[in-house]
C-alpha cells in the first residue's frame, strides 16, 4: 500500500455517523466499484467507490459492507465481505486482504468472504424493515455505464419487493461533507505533495516547453512522494487554451509572453487536493496580465472570507459574483451603467467568469454535500475565481482549498505562492539554477 490509511477508529466513527440517520429496522448495503475493461484483455486501474472507502477504508474490488444496527445477533450488525484470495490470484495479481487484515484496517469485527454475501442477505433481510440502497446522486454526475452498485440494487429490489426502500445518498452527502480530523490530515498530505509539484514546475517552465512536459513534471513529483497520481485529469492550458475551462489535451507549446493556467491536484489515500495557479511562461507578468491576475486574486481573498458557518452556498456565490462585477468594471471589461440595468437572472459578469467559485472537496475532487443546508464547521471547499478573455488569449484562475472552522477559515494552501512578486521571484531563481 503506497499510502497510510486512516485509523480503524476513524472508520468506526464514520459508520457511527451513518447509523445515527437510519430508521429503526434499517439495513444498508454498500458495494465496491467494478474494475472497468478497456479492450482485449485490458482494464482500467481500480478506483474504489468513495462511500465504501469512507465507511471502512477497504480499497479492494468486490468488497461489500452491510450495516444493520438492529440485527438480533450483535455479530450481524456490521459485516464486511472481502474477496477470498488464492495461490493463483496471489501469483497473477498479488494477495488480497485476509479477513484478519480487513478487520484490523476497517474496525469491523465480522469479516466474511464475498461468497457468503447471498446467503447472509437471505438470512438477515427478513429481520429488516427498510433496505437502504446507495446510488450516485451527485448534482453533476452523468453515468452511462451500469455500476456494480446499480446491478446489486436491482437484485435486492427484485428479491424483496415488499421491503420499503430508503436512500443512503442523502445521509452520505451530509456526513461526508463534514470532515473528521484524520480526513483533514489526509487532505493536507495531498496538498503538501501538490505544493511540491508546483514548486517543481516553477523551476522547469520556460518558453518552448510543451504543456504535456509540464504535466509530466507534476506527475513525476506526485508519484515520487507516494501518491498514486492525479485526483483528476490535469489542465495545463497556455495562451488561448487557458480560456477553455476543461481543456485536458495538454498538447500545445508554451509560448513566450503567454500565461499558462495549471489546474491539478494529487490524490493521497483516496483524498483529493485541487490547486490552480496561472503563471507567465517567461517568468514575468506583463502589465495587463498583472492587472487581471491581481483582480482575480482580490476576488479569491474576499470570497474566502465569505465561507462561514451558517451561510448557504447559493447566497455565497451571489456575493462572489458581486465582487467579480466590481473587478471587471475596474478592468474596463464591463460597463457600470449596463451592470446596474442587467437582468439579475443573467448577470453580465458571466461572460468573463462563467463557472462557480467553490465546490466541496474530499474523497472526490467534486465531493458530495448538500446545497440545501448551510455551510458548517469541518467542511472543505475550493475557492477558484477566474477571468477569461479569449480575444486577448488571456485566462487566469487561482484556486486554494479552504477548511471552514467555527471562527472562520483555514487556507490549506496558505504556504503555496500566489502573489505576483512571489511567483516571479521563484521563477527567476529557477532560471538561475538552470543557468
Domain ranges of the chain: 8-176, 181-434
Whether pLDDT at 21 is above 60:
yes
* Contact (Cβ atoms closer than 8 angstroms) between residue 266 and residue 196: no
Encode 6-22: b = buried (16+ Cβ within 10 Å), e = exposed. Answer: bebebbbbbbebbbebb
CATH topology of domain 181-434: Creatine Amidinohydrolase (3.90.230)
For the segment 329-345, what is each residue's pLDDT rounded down to a tens digit?
A: 999 999 999 999 999 99
Annotated catalytic residues are 41, 246, 263, 274, 355, 359, 366, 384, 388, 397, 399
* Contact (Cβ atoms closer than 8 angstroms) between residue 11 and residue 45: no
* Contact (Cβ atoms closer than 8 angstroms) between residue 191 and residue 156: no
Residue 41 pLDDT: 85
* Contact (Cβ atoms closer than 8 angstroms) between residue 193 and residue 268: yes
Say what the pTM is: 0.95
* Contact (Cβ atoms closer than 8 angstroms) between residue 413 and residue 195: yes
Residue 430 pLDDT: 72
pLDDT level of residue 434 (50, 70, 90 thresholds)? low
Could you give the CA distance from residue 298 to residue 419 in angstroms, rounded to a whole number? 10
pLDDT level of residue 433 (50, 70, 90 thresholds)? low
Cell of 324: 467579480
CATH topology of domain 8-176: Creatine Amidinohydrolase; Chain A, domain 1 (3.40.350)
Region 355-379: mean pLDDT is 97
- The single residue listed with the C-alpha cell 491581481 is 294
For the segment 44-66, what is each residue's pLDDT rounded down to a tens digit?
A: 888 999 999 999 999 999 999 99
Region 244-256: mean pLDDT is 97
Amino acid at each position: 500500500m503506497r499510502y497510510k490509511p486512516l485509523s480503524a477508529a476513524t472508520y468506526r466513527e464514520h459508520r457511527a455517523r451513518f447509523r445515527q440517520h437510519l430508521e429503526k429496522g434499517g439495513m444498508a448495503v454498500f458495494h465496491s466499484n467494478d474494475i472497468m475493461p478497456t479492450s482485449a484483455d485490458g482494464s482500467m486501474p481500480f478506483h474504489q467507490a468513495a462511500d465504501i472507502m469512507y465507511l471502512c477504508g477497504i480499497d479492494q474490488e468486490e468488497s461489500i459492507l452491510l450495516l444493520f444496527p438492529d440485527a438480533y445477533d450483535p455479530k450481524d450488525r456490521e459485516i464486511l465481505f472481502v474477496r477470498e484470495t488464492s495461490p493463483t490470484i496471489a501469483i497473477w495479481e498479488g494477495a488480497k486482504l485476509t479477513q484478519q487484515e480487513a478487520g484490523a484496517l476497517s474496525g469491523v469485527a465480522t469479516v466474511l468472504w464475498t461468497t457468503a454475501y447471498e446467503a447472509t442477505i437471505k438470512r438477515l433481510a427478513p429481520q429488516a424493515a427498510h433496505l437502504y440502497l446507495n446510488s450516485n446522486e451527485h448534482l453533476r454526475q452523468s453515468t452511462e455505464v451500469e455500476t456494480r452498485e446499480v446491478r446489486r440494487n436491482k437484485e435486492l429490489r427484485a428479491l424483496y419487493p415488499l421491503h420499503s426502500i430508503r436512500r443512503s445518498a442523502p445521509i452520505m452527502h451530509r456526513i461526508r461533507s463534514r470532515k473528521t480530523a484524520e480526513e483533514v490530515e489526509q487532505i493536507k498530505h495531498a496538498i503538501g505533495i501538490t505544493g511540491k509539484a508546483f514548486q517543481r514546475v516553477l523551476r522547469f517552465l520556460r518558453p518552448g516547453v510543451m504543456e504535456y512536459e509540464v504535466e509530466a513534471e507534476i506527475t513525476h513529483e506526485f508519484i515520487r512522494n507516494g501518491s498514486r497520481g492525479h485526483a483528476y485529469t490535469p489542465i495545463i492550458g497556455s495562451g488561448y487554451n487557458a480560456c477553455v475551462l476543461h481543456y485536458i489535451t495538454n498538447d500545445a507549446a508554451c509560448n513566450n509572453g503567454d500565461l499558462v493556467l495549471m489546474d491539478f491536484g494529487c490524490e493521497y489515500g483516496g483524498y483529493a487536493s485541487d490547486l490552480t495557479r496561472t503563471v507567465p511562461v517567461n517568468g514575468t507578468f506583463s502589465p495587463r496580465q498583472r492587472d487581471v491576475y491581481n483582480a482575480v486574486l482580490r476576488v479569491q481573498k474576499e470570497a474566502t472570507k465569505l465561507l462561514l458557518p451558517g451561510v448557504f452556498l447559493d447566497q455565497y456565490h451571489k456575493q462572489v459574483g458581486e465582487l467579480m462585477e466590481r473587478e471587471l468594471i475596474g478592468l474596463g471589461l464591463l460597463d457600470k451603467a449596463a451592470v446596474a440595468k442587467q437582468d439579475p437572472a443573467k448577470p453580465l459578469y458571466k461572460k468573463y467568469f462563467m463557472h462557480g467559485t467553490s465546490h466541496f472537496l474530499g474523497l472526490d475532487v467534486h465531493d458530495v454535500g448538500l446545497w440545501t443546508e448551510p455551510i458548517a464547521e469541518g467542511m472543505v471547499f475550493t475557492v477558484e475565481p477566474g477571468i477569461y478573455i479569449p480575444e486577448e488569449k488571456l485566462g487566469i484562475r487561482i484556486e486554494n482549498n479552504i477548511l471552514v472552522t467555527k471562527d472562520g477559515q483555514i487556507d490549506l494552501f496558505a504556504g503555496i505562492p500566489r502573489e505576483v512578486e512571489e511567483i516571479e521571484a521563484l521563477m527567476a531563481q529557477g532560471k538561475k539554477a538552470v543557468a
